[in-house]
Amino acid sequence: MTDVKRDERESWDAIVIGSGLGGLATAAYLCAAGRRTLVLEAHYVAGGNSQVFRRKHKGREYEFDVGIHYIGECGRDGVITAVLGGLGLAERVVFRPLDSDGYSTLHFPDLSFRVPFGWDRYRARLLETFPAERDALTSVLDVMQDVARAGRDLQREEIAMEDVAEEAPGFLEWGLRPVTELFTEKGLSHRAAAVILGEQGCYAVRPSDTPVAMAAGLADHFLRGACYPEGGGQVIAGRLIEAIRAYGGEVRTQSPVHRIRIEDGRVVGVVAGKKSRAPQEIDAPVVVSNADVKRTFAELVGREHLCPETAERIESLRMAMPLFCVYVGLDVDLRARGMPNSNHFIWGNYDIEAVYDDLDADKISEDAMAYVTAASLKDPTCTRLAPEGFTNLQIMTLVPRSYSIWNVEQGPAEGGRYHRDPEYRRRKTDVMEHLIDAAQLVIPDLREHIAWKEAATPVSQERFTRSTGGTSYGIEMSCNQAGPLRVGPRTEIPGLFLCGASTPSGPGIAGVMRGGVATAGEILEADLLKAVLAGRVFGDRDLLPELDEAWDPWRESH
């Protein structure tokens, strides 16, 4: 590819492909350990699903989150807190809690339920809402809380897998079984079950395929404190990039990787380069892919370098259901109306399983959740989110995996063009208007105050992140694809590692950040995750730049 002599060409200790939070966490910890690490990102801004984008309209500017809407594990004992702390970044990211009496509000046709902080308060509110189901609810919640606690201990390596049978028998019995089996065995009603699964759009898996460990883990994740990063979603990526650069690494945007180079059966580097330049070979004995797992093996590695069983396994993996997103600027400040700092999940009925029947049949389901969230309520201090007196609002729903519903035959990663197609735009507008109608349950005069609106389909998601099927969640976290049944972080090719939502750590901000540390630990051949969770600091704070009130995480991420 190049005639540059090997001793003159660019060489790094490690290269990370993709700048999602998993890749950035891996790179930051490798840099903190003295490994010169280069992060290569195809997009013009780093951060993956944690990035933001900005829009100007009539002289007003908005900043919308792509993937960080609310997160857990931000308290003193939280995984995100520990990962940032281990890099010397703990004081540089501040988290603002959502409404503790109802961080999420679940809306069903004849019931609204506010989800409070804490298992005890959550249990009491469910029992108050469904008094005739005391025994069933108590049994279900006992199992979920037990499984969540054991799952947390396993992730923290406070329980070894070989000791699960003795120390966490409930996890062994229920962890990888469908949550619907738990509900049926305990005699829980469909209404109560739907309320317990009301936030399941955060992982997007059919209830009958959802492991109890996933449902319980998500509940535990938020019940222990749901938060939003002060300064907007780009802050976490921006601080990780700041640490990478301070600790001797580099992050390059608009630098797509075309191929992972493999010689004599092991990794030797990548072929990469901006569109305006000829591709360049860059050497490294370690390459970490934070890219889509299917594209990593099919396009960057190539089937010829995989054993047949691995190739078939990767091809058979099922992606999580994708999302459709609407971004709205309102010419009214919802804070002035006293609107609580709560997420809203609006479901058309209690049969969530039927919603997935529609989605798997390539139908837009009008009963699928409409998730409504306002960044302006979550962080009123950040002036970038919306102009003064305005509100930054987002509405999302689950949509089918097939691009045919958008009149798209070929995705943008394969070169397909779609954006100007009239039928694509019409179908996108139809879904956007349906979601705006649904959100009026929460904001009745919503349409009267729309100053700006736009929407993004899964095709848009693929365009910017190259994710298969346009999903935000990677490989579906279903019963037959959970935990040890997932791929990575070590692969069969020496020097090639994986991180991100499709690895055993799973999707979500805490999941990918924890997984990034685990991948760095595999490379360093050290129990890095355990040390980080125990509070050890690897980063040298003295090397970090001084805090600056004018610091812009979006610009830091370029």
pLDDT in tens, 491-532: 999 999 999 999 999 999 999 999 999 999 999 999 999 999
pLDDT in tens, 62-87: 999 999 999 999 998 899 999 999 99
Q: In sequence order, what E strands does 354-444 have?
A: 370-374, 391-398
Q: Classify the C-alpha dihedral 218-26-65-406 as positive or negative.
A: negative
> What is the pLDDT confidence band of residue 4, given thresholds at 50, 70 and 90?
very low
304-338 per-residue burial string, b: 16 or more CB within 10 A, e: under 16? ebbeeebbeebeebebbbbbbbbbbbbebbbeeee
Non-local (6+) Cβ contacts of 456 within 8 A are 324, 325, 327
216 pLDDT above the threshold of 80: yes
Mean pLDDT calculated for residue range 227-255: 96
Query: What pLDDT does 3 receive?
Result: 43
CA distance 494 to 526: 17
CA distance 53 to 62: 8
210 pLDDT above the threshold of 90: yes
Lowest average pLDDT, out of 149-158, 480-489, 494-503, goes to: 149-158
pLDDT in tens, 263-275: 999 999 999 987 6
CA angle 110, 112, 115 (to 5 degrees): 150
Query: What pLDDT does 44 receive?
Result: 94
Mean pLDDT calculated for residue range 444-456: 96
Q: Classify the C-alpha dihedral 550-553-555-557 as positive or negative.
A: positive
205-232 per-residue burial string, b: 16 or more CB within 10 A, e: under 16? bbbebbbbbbbbbbbbbbbbbbbbbebb
Three-class secondary structure of residue 127 per DSSP:
helix
Kindly list the domain boundaries of the chain, sorted by start residue.
14-53+70-89+232-317+472-548, 117-225, 321-469
Tally Cβ neighbours within 10 Å of residue 86.
Answer: 25
Non-local (6+) Cβ contacts of 534 within 8 A are none
Cα separations in angstroms, 201 against 87, 93, 116, 148, 344? 31, 26, 18, 18, 12
| Domain 14-53+70-89+232-317+472-548: CATH class, spelled out | alpha beta
**H or E stretch covering 426:** helix 422-439
pLDDT in tens, 13-51: 999 999 999 999 999 999 999 999 999 999 999 999 999
Query: What pLDDT does 59 receive?
Result: 87
In the numeric block, which tokens belong to residue 313?
């396994």
> What is the pLDDT confidence band of residue 169, given thresholds at 50, 70 and 90?
confident
- Considering the entire predicted model, what is its pTM? 0.95
Q: In sequence order, what E strands does 217-341 have?
A: 227-229, 250-252, 257-263, 266-272, 280-283, 287-289, 323-330
> What is the distance, to the nearest Å, from the Cα of residue 520 to the centroid of all Cα atoms in its chain?
19
